[in-house]
Amino acid sequence: MPAPSPETIDAVLRQVDAGLPQARETLFDLLRIPSISAQPARAADCARAAAWCRDQLAGLGFSAEVRPTKGHPVVVAHHPGPTGYTGPHVLFYGHYDVQPVDPVDLWTSPPFEPQYLDGPRGKRFVARGAVDDKGQAMMFVEALRAWTIAGGGIPARITVLLEGEEEVGSKNLEPFLAAHKQELAADLALISDTGMWDIDTPAITARLRGMSYVQITLKAAKRDLHSGLFGGSALNPINALTKILGDLHDDQGRIQLPGFYDGIKPVSNVQRAQWDSLGFDEGAFLGGIGLTAPIGERGYSPLERLWARPTADINGIWGGYQGEGSKTVIPAEASAKITFRLVPGQDETAVFGQFQRFVADRLPPGATVEYQGGGGTPGIEVATDSPWVRAAQDALAAEYGKPAVLVGSGGSIPVVTSLHKVLGIDALLMGFGLDDDQVHSPNEKFEERCFHHGIRSHARLLAKFAGG
What's the CA gap between 79 and 156, in Å, rounded?
A: 8
CB of 296 to a copy of itself, least distance (A): 5
Site map (CB under 8 A) of a copy of itself, residues 192-211, x = contact = -----------------x-x
Q: How many CB atoms are located within 10 Å of the residue 377 CB?
A: 20
What's the CA gap between 412 and 392, in Å, rounded?
A: 21
Residue 5 binds to a copy of itself (criterion: CB under 8 A) = no
Residue 243 binds to a copy of itself (criterion: CB under 8 A) = yes
Residue 16 binds to a copy of itself (criterion: CB under 8 A) = no
Residue 252 binds to a copy of itself (criterion: CB under 8 A) = no
Task: Name residues contacting a copy of itself, limited to 209-228 (CB under 8 A).
Answer: 209, 211, 213, 215, 220-223, 225-228
What's the CA gap between 356 and 106, in Å, rounded?
A: 42
Q: Quick one: 100 exposed, middle or buried, by C-beta within 10 A (0-12, 13-18, 19+)?
A: middle
Q: Which is nearer to a copy of itself, 116 or 230 (CB)?
A: 230
Per CB under 8 A, the list member of 109, 318, 403, 424 interacting with a copy of itself is 318
CB of 99 to a copy of itself, least distance (A): 12
The CA-based angle 376-358-247, given to 5 degrees, is: 105
Helix (H) or strand (E) holding 18: helix 6-31
Residue 316 binds to a copy of itself (criterion: CB under 8 A) = yes
Q: For 63-83, give the DSSP string.
A: EEEEE--SSS-EEEEEE--ST
Q: Which is nearer to a copy of itself, 67 or 362 (CB)?
A: 362
Task: Name residues contacting a copy of itself, limited to 348-407 (CB under 8 A).
Answer: 364-366, 373
Residue 244 binds to a copy of itself (criterion: CB under 8 A) = yes
CB of 167 to a copy of itself, least distance (A): 13
Residue 337 binds to a copy of itself (criterion: CB under 8 A) = yes
What's the CA gap between 37 and 354, in Å, rounded?
A: 35
Closest to 23 (Cα-Cα) out of 118, 91, 125, 159: 125
Residue 236 binds to a copy of itself (criterion: CB under 8 A) = yes
Sign for the CA dihedral angle at 101, 107, 110, 113 comes to negative
* Identity of residue 333: E
Residue 116 binds to a copy of itself (criterion: CB under 8 A) = no
CB of 78 to a copy of itself, least distance (A): 33
CB of 405 to a copy of itself, least distance (A): 17
